[in-house]
Structure 1
Amino acid sequence: MIPLPDTVLAWVIPAVVVFGVTAAAVAVAVWSVRRARRSPRARARAEADRTRAGSALVRLDDAVGELDLEVGLSGALYDGEAPAALRRARMIAQHVRDESFESFRGLDDADPDEVRRVSARIRSRTEEALGVVAGARAAHDEWMRAHRSAVTQVDAAGARLERLRTELGDPGALVADLSGRFDETEWQQAAVAARTASTALTSAQQHLGAARSLAADPTRSAFPELAVAERELRRAASSARALEEAHRLVTDAALAMPQEIDATRAAVAQAMRVRDDLEPADAERLGRELRAVTEELDRLIPLAARRPTATVEAIARLRARLDLALGDARTAQQRLRGARTALPGTLASARGALARAELAVAGAGADARVRLDAAQRELAAARRSDDPVEALDAARRAQRHAEDAQALADYARLKTPPADPLAR
């Protein structure tokens, strides 16, 4: 081998040293930057930004709810057609809220830089949408004060109150029907909704009376009392819907429960036939799961008549456990048949979980609301799907999201107990 000239070595060696040191310095710098971005301090800053974005998102979600009320009230005064500015503001706010929910949900596993960037975008878009809503509401309020008298609005609200009272009827009758047939855990939610609806109607009537008295005095404004009355009417209407839904969920579950039990037993029998074609080790594993599912089903049956919704929800979980145990051992036709029989009970279970979550999430933070939004989307997807397997998967995701939303709301409520006992 021919030795390199001394002049070449004298040039190459320093160059290698310089480039090596530079590369090492760059590597250390990159490592330091990445570590700083993932440091506890960086994560704390990112979490603070995420919290601020969540607070803005909660304000927007509340504003959308208020705007829904205002559009409905305006429609009552405009022959069923709300002003274009209000409808446009609601559409913008709903669009921004829904997209921001999606973005906020994606922050769970993001790195701090991504969290801060997305949080800043959420806050910017949310504040912009809130500005649009505030502007539309201010313009509408000014128009209403100039063109609609307080007496007219009080009369319209009074008519809605009487119509709602007629539609609600005797809320105690629905609760009595449930309490005579089922355990308290089955009708407790309906009882809370009935009490809330009755209380809200009474409160709305009182505030409307005060607004009517103020409207007769040209030197005083009736609008503050009228606004409170409108909110109470909205609370009454929402509680009336919750009462009807709670009653329907329990009675539907009671009717469907025998079929759900039979369908689960049939699914276990089918799984036993699948087990016969498996290798010994897989067959033994599946056999243990089948015995456990059968034992749990037998344990549920004695209480099923008194606890139908709890039984249907437990059966839905058993069907999911059975599908997990079977894995890929079934044919496509067997999976399709199993999904068709499991879907009705799972949809009912997801509806029940969603109804409970909607009550729990009222007044909760962004995390609970985002999970609730995901549950609503998945349940809608399950109902739209023509594929039973896809629909079943979506319904199960909806139930998980709804349960997560309720758990998050309950946890937040434990940390900050509400002042209003009816909020529990």
Structure 2
Amino acid sequence: MRRRRKVAAVVVVAAGALGCGLAAGGAIGAAPTTASFVVVDNAFQAAGGSGTSVTIAQGGKVDFAYPDGADEHDVRFVRDGVACTQTDGVGNATNSKVVPPAPEEEGWAGTCTFAQAGTYQFFCDVPEHDMKGSVVVEADLTTTTAPPTGTGTPTTPTTTPTTSGGGGNGGGTAPGGGTAPAAGSTTTPPAPRIAVAQRQKGTVVRGTVTHAGARTRVAVDVRAQRGTVKAPGRRTALVSVGKATRRTSAGGRLAMAIRLDARARAALQRAHRLAVTVRVTVTLPVVGAATESFAVVLAARAAAQARAAAAAPAKAAVSLKNIRFTPATVTVRKGGTVTWTWRDGGTPHDVVGPGFRSKIVAKGTFKHRLARAGTFRYVCSIHPKMKGKVVVR
């Protein structure tokens, strides 16, 4: 998976050397300053196409909107440097990495601005949807440095080495002609390389850190949505579901393996998938600490899925009564059948979900066979607050 890291771009351009490479006031081929996504059930779609990524200029904005659908969605960015504000809907997100503050029904919209260049990955907090996208923010390339007067060729600074001998301040000429480092100077080790796969299986999150320095500290924190793992607290807040810390005595490649806690393992078994955010902090002497975040989707192993599927019933029944689906959530095995029965007097209802729709009637039954595993949410189109869910194992 691609890493989420802050990207600093410093561009120094000699106008005479470029000739007509830059036009006055901007760069050729500059990225647009605006873009937009339309949120549909189970996908983010770049406006005007079917892609899941857009490119904008640094300081630009991207609009998100969920105008129509039968589910709940939101947009959560992994890295910092983005500020989102909700412009329509129930929530009131302001200067946030997530919009709306919690997954909402159709009718919400928001705008996100990006102050820093880089790639911004985002996803929907409802794990069973497996919705992801990205915003690529290109650095501002319009800043130029004028060449010296009277020449079209930029000058190259030269360094005159200090002659060895004499002073006690260090900084003499090293054997072989190079300039020796000043006394007390420290060589900065290269930045560590962190690798975490975007899709993994099982209850252990794995990755690697490759570093060059001794006495390196690596801290990993795996987080999931509170509502997903049924932890107490606000639904939108992230909660830690696994931590690990390692210290090394020499440079090299360090393998990470963080086991999920009992709540996260249970959530993975229920839904067969679990979206987590993996934060890796590497602390090197002299350099200090650097943190990167990765969005990871865990899938239950085949054996665990088979056990859960075998335990699920082949049939389930739902009643439509008092303008409710009762029970609101049912579970069946893959290939199982759900039967809805109207028991609400003369009140008409229907059942509308992904791939199935009943007629609008006031009595009778409706059956539907679900051939693939997953979570399927449905509603009554006449009474939008009537919602139900079928979990297929």
Which TM-score bucket, shorter chain as reference?
A: under 0.3
More strand by share: 2
Q: Structure 2-normalised TM-score?
A: 0.23
Q: Structure 1-normalised TM-score?
A: 0.22
